[in-house]
Structure 1
Amino acid sequence: MREFGYRRASDVPGTVALLGSEPEARVLGGGTNLVDLMKTGVERPGLLIDVRELPLDRIEVSDDGGLRIGATVTNSDLAAHPEVRRRYPALAAAVLAGASGQLRNMATVGGNLLQRTRCGYFTDVTKACNKRTPGSGCPAVEGEHHNGAILGATEHCVAVHPSDMGVALAAFDAVVSYETAEGTGELPLADFYLAVGSTPHLETALPSGALITAVTLPPAPVAAHSRYRKVRERASYAFAIGSIAAALDVRDGVVHEVRLAFGAVASRPWRAREAERVLTGGPATAEAFAAAADAELAAAKTLPHNGYKVTLMRNLVVAMLTELTEPTEPSEPTEGAAR
């Protein structure tokens, strides 16, 4: 591991100033991803700025009924917050589906958004990887790619984004707030992550030297009737091979509003807008749900060993939306139910 400096941040303006003056500085929240990557040599910051004592650890209900979530709120506190569980149960369930309890106690909301892919070629510095070393190639295309992307990928990168939390945030139009030396700014989550294109090493649209300060969820009554489901290769502490956040409002058998987002299928949480368009105003039936899934997945480009994800995601859409048409309210999100 490269030798690095350490500073403990005490206020947001000072942190932003330090980030602007130290190009090799990185923000340290819980460190659950960054420190691991430093150990393997993927990340080599010259300075870590510990932001855990910044006043960014609150969850507040906004006047319009949405939520503002501070960037240093831990995943455990986010999942346990009564207003998150009541207003956005899919978000609470998604957070509980991610990592172990110990890691959730450390991991932060801001850090979760910025976590890097777990693709084995990216995390192994002895291998080529366009995301880690631009222009070196993407050996996953011809090699191990069973958990590779099927939507939005290119020949330059087929890695998937690992966040569970991000999938639920994408479904509910989250907005990321940040601070720079020039002032404050906002990015809708839909614009926060960059398309892979030919530059997979460029992952977010955050300005250089920016500090994430909060994530805002706008009011969404449909979100109160939402769920999250994650499919993984073992029951505990594993990244998804496919996941879905879904919310549904059905009136007289007709879909009034629907929200859908997929995980582990692209380099970013994938908002299924085509499926939403097909469903809205139509019948709330299994056949309609399947047709909507097919419309969304028509753009899928598979490799020899990840084509199963098309069927998996189709089945998840039908199963989740069918469950959400049932009259009983979903139970309180728990770690087991989130799997």
Structure 2
Amino acid sequence: MSGGLALYVHIPFCESKCPYCDFNTYAGIEPLMPSYVSALAREIEQWGAWLDRPTLASVFFGGGTPSYLPPRDLRRLMETIRTAFDLPDSAEATLEANPGDCSADRLLAMRRAGFNRISIGVQSFDDAELAMLGRRHDAARAAEAVRGARGAGFENVSIDLMFGLPDQSVAAWERSVEQAIRLGTDHLSAYALTLEPGTPLEADVRLGSTSEPDPDLAAEMYLLAQTVLAGAGLQQYEISNWARQGRESTHNLAYWRSLPYLGVGPGAHSYLYATGALDAFGVRFANVNPPRVYIKRVNAWQANGPVDIEAIAPAAAIGHCEPVSRRDAMAETMMMGLRLNAGVADASFRERFGEGIAN
């Protein structure tokens, strides 16, 4: 795994579930936290042993709401990662955080746990939009969280914003983008709202109790963000991401460059280059979704070094596993790489596949 492995750590807990969210996340299962954290630490240890303690290029705690975990649990998990893997001091370590969890004390505890990058789920700096999205913070609290993260010593502060919302105006979107700039964010991710089937917000729109988003306005908002952010020194490097120079997300670049990554936790996805007897260019697999099933499976797993991933799937928490063919690996490399402004380098493509892109 030349260059290091990207490690994703899934934290499925939320204080409340947002009405637009269809991720593998849960509210109201806080009593499960202690046994979950223990199982997650065990899975990290097992993979570290099975992979022979590889070097990590990045760590990303996502969810869910990782900042909802008690700081002592975050510290425990980071210590487990450092023991099970080779985590250089220079490696990017990101924690996703809800502004409502970002008190000065908690931010300092997050930083001391070993995270050097924080991704704050602001979504909007407009109180009416935040209420519609079911967020548990207001615009003032969001701004305070961003300032607090800088004060706590985070080297890279990222903000998530959403556009294309019901009844959102272009002017309101511009105000949110400009507020992010005023707060000195290093990195900004801007996502258009997707009405996912089965979510409360999708049902509200379908039944007419909430306005349907206007796709033409969403396109206008996207173009506006490109102009305003570029003028403020945040360069677009991916379809939905902007950053100051040197502040791009190392972890997400691993996905877009089709580099190997390991996901731990329920529903977490992984992509590892092929090893052992697996006759493929890689293997893609995902853990089971339900946290209780995940805990049971992990606690029963003994990592005794079988020859390939498919062999351990029944014993580990893996719910789905499939080899990636050379043709699929080539297609995915192009598909993901073309999300980036830099595109796909012919030299790196040729190094991996033995032929250039033009062929």
Q: TM-score under structure 2 normalisation? A: 0.28
Q: TM-score under structure 1 normalisation? A: 0.29
Q: Which has the higher Rg, Structure 1 or Structure 2?
A: 2
Report the structure, 1 or 2, having the larger helix content: 2
